[in-house]
Amino acid sequence: MSSPVPVTSRPFAAIGLAASLSLIAAGIARAEPAMVAPLPVPPSADAAPPIHLPAPGRGTPDSFADLAARLLPAVVNVSTTETVKPGDDGDPDGEGEDAPQIPNFPEGSPFEKFFHDFMSHQNGPEAAPRKMQALGSGFIIDASGIIVTNNHVIRHADQITVTLQDNTVLKARLLGHDDRTDLAVLKVESPHPLPAVAFGDSDRARVGDWVLAIGNPFGLSGTVTAGIISSRGRNIEQGPYDDFIQTDAPINKGNSGGPLFDMQGQVIGINTAIYSPSGGSIGIGFSIPSAEARGIIDQLRRTGKVSRGWIGVRIQDVTQDIADGLGLKAAHGALIAGVEAKGPAAAAKLQVGDVIQTLNGKDIDGRALPRLMADTAPGQVVKLGVWRHGQVVTASVTVGALPEDPKEAPAPKPDAKARGSVPLQGLGMTVGAIDDVARQKFNLAEGQKGVVVTDVAQDGPAADRGLRAGDVITQVQQAEVATPADLRRLVEAARAKHRRSVLLLIQNSDDLRWVPLPLADDAK
Which residues are designated catalytic?
A: 152, 182, 256
Give CA–CA dist 488/504, Å, rounded: 12
In whole angstroms, how far apart are CA 500 and each of 323, 354, 446, 474, 520?
Answer: 10, 20, 35, 21, 8
CA dihedral 229, 235, 238, 241 (to 10 degrees): 100
At 332, is the secondary structure helix, strand, or coil?
Answer: coil
Contacts 24+ apart (CB under 8 A), 222-228: 222/72, 222/75, 222/165, 223/255, 224/64, 224/68, 224/72, 225/249, 225/250, 225/251, 226/64, 227/283
Give CA–CA dist 303/278, Å, rounded: 39
Length of the chain: 524
CA 270 from centre of chain: 14
Which residues does residue 387 pair with via DSSP β-bridges, in sequence order? Answer: 355, 392
Give CA–CA dist 91/97, Å, rounded: 10
Residue environment code for 253-284, b if the CB has 16+ CB neighbours within 10 A, otherwise e: bbbbbbbbbbbebbbbbbbbbbbbeebebeeb
Cβ atoms of 337 and 315 within 8 Å: the answer is yes
- Name which of 453, 401, 450, 402 is nearest 427 in CA terms: 453
Q: Based on the number of CB atoms within 10 Å of its own CB, is 347 exposed (0-12), middle (13-18) or buried (19 or more)?
A: middle
- Name which of 162, 153, 260 is nearest 212 in CA terms: 260
- Name which of 385, 402, 375, 377 is nearest 348 in CA terms: 385
